[in-house]
Amino acid sequence: MSLGVFSLLWAMAALAERVPPGTDDEIAERLQPFGELCRTGQPCAEAVADAGAASGSMSGEAVYNQFCNTCHGAGVAGAPVTGNSEAWDERLAKGMETLWEHTLQGFNAMPPKGTCMNCSDDELRAALDYMVGQVQ
């Protein structure tokens, strides 16, 4: 037997030991895809289900929790921490229209729409209102 064939057989035997045991059904379940591809204009079933009620829109708090909290909960890259009135005072002094513009277009390290590219304007406005409401 050649060295190449031996190496291949050895590698296959080593991999076979790593495969977790199970019935055919358990193995088939482990091989199921963990997600789905969503294309623009064709909402994913999970995304629509997660988006909320029959209207399909998320509340401001839901948008905040899913998209905003990572940065605004910890102050990442200078983001004003939600609930910290000192951090928000200067921003609120610029007015809600400026905050809305920053929400849509991004500001400093914050990307446009805070990474929620599929959020509607109403959902984003509700998230902004939710964050501002935490300091007023």
The one-character DSSP state at 97 is H
The pLDDT value given to residue 53: 42
CATH number of the domain at 49, please: 1.10.760.10
Q: Which range of residues forms the domain containing residue 83? A: 45-133
The pLDDT value given to residue 24: 81
The one-character DSSP state at 96 is H
Domain tally, the chain: 1
Question: Under DSSP, is residue 78 helix (H, G, I), strand (E, B) or coil?
Answer: helix
The pLDDT value given to residue 19: 59
- One pLDDT digit (tens) per residue for the chain, 136 residues: 677 777 877 777 766 666 566 788 887 777 777 667 777 776 665 554 444 444 468 899 999 999 998 899 988 999 999 999 999 999 999 999 999 999 999 999 999 998 888 899 999 999 999 999 998 7
In a domain, 95, yes or no: yes
In a domain, 4, yes or no: no
Long-range contacts of 7-13 (CB under 8 A, 24+ apart): none
In a domain, 40, yes or no: no
8 A C-beta contact, residue 113 and residue 123: no
